[in-house]
Amino acid sequence: MKALDLEGSTVGAPNERPRPVSVECKKYSTVGGQAEGYREFLAVAYANTAHVIDTMGGDAEREFLWVTYHPFSQTRWKELLTVAHLRECIEEYDTLLDGKPIDDDLLATVGQRIGVMVVGQRQVDLRLTKDEAGLALHHLRKAGYRA
């Protein structure tokens, strides 16, 4: 299966387990290939989830996040997180499924796990340093949060 840019896990509250998360990041400064890349990302998210279920016997409940530095597909923005759009993209990249049919229930589940984030330079400038993030994680773990 196709690897994405970043793999990790969420920080879970004391009574919940962390969930795996995969992130694809596109640092464009103008309109470019984000729309096509996003379509492939959606198909990869579904195909990876289906593959894990088939090979591991269960759903890892992985979250998928698309991060870009420039807006894309603005005339279709409301459609980007719909199940119909997800299906379109999977059908376009159907070779990722190795001939297996699309499962409507899994389609809806994966659709709920997709996120899109447009990041501005100001947000990047305000991020925690590696040391600050480590300190925050240390205190979260001390308080019972799991990562």
Reported as a pLDDT band with limits 50, 70 and 90, residue 59 is very high
Residues sharing a CB contact under 8 Å with residue 116, sequence separation 6 or more, in sequence order: 38, 65, 66, 68, 80, 81
Under DSSP, the state recorded for 146 is B
Taking residues 85-112, report their average pLDDT: 96
Where does the pLDDT of residue 28 fall: very low under 50, low under 70, confident under 90, or very high at 90 and above? confident
Least-confidence region, from 61-70, 94-103, 118-127: 118-127
Report which of residues 34 and 125 the model is more confident about. 34
Among candidate residues 53, 40, 34, 50, the one with its CA nearest the CA of residue 4: 40
Q: What pTM does this model have?
A: 0.86
In one letter, which amino acid is 133?
A: A
